[in-house]
Structure 1
């Protein structure tokens, strides 16, 4: 009997692991609560209800030059069996 009580308490105290978005939702919070989607702000709100975008806060993507790049950007899901130069050298 005491062992079952201890096991029951252990199961009750165990928490389910959830992401940070699931812990507090707008349905469990005050009426005017808005949690957002884990996005960083790109500017700020003005007093008159406008929004000013700050260029320093915008994400900048650095893309390398792929002019003479041998690989293709798309990988087919139904790839064919091909031999590479490494496999051809080893089989000889």
Structure 2
């Protein structure tokens, strides 16, 4: 009898399982659990299975006018060798100092 009481107290005092501290996903949650992808809904579902997109919930992106901007938006994957430029002379001076 006392042995059963001691094991019961040990079970109560035991820490949480480490498996319960893992990240909750839709595979590990209950059958009807849907986690989603952390994005905001753009509308709502209707009773008949349709989806209505609400214009005020759509994201609006503000893009500035870049007509006179000096830098380009694209950076080439193929880097060219710079010979005799000011960048190479400044790097050799800083390494010699």
Q: What band does the TM-score fall into relative to the shorter chain?
A: 0.5 to 0.7
SS of the residue 1:35 aligns to: coil
Structure 2 portions without partners, runs of 5+ = 1-14, 91-97
Name which one, 1 or 2, has greater alpha-carbon Rg. Answer: 2
Show the counterpart of 1:39: 39
After superposition, give the CA deviation of every residue in 1:23-74 in whole Å (9 maximum; x if it has no partner): 2111211112111000000011111111111111100001111111111001
Show the counterpart of 2:4: none
TM-score norm. by structure 2 comes to: 0.56
Show the counterpart of 2:73: 73
Structure 1 portions without partners, runs of 5+ = 1-11, 16-21, 88-92
TM superposition shift of 1:83: 3.9
Show the counterpart of 1:51: 51
Aligned CA RMSD, in angstroms, stands at 2.7
Partners of 1:30 and 1:70 in 2: CA distance: 55
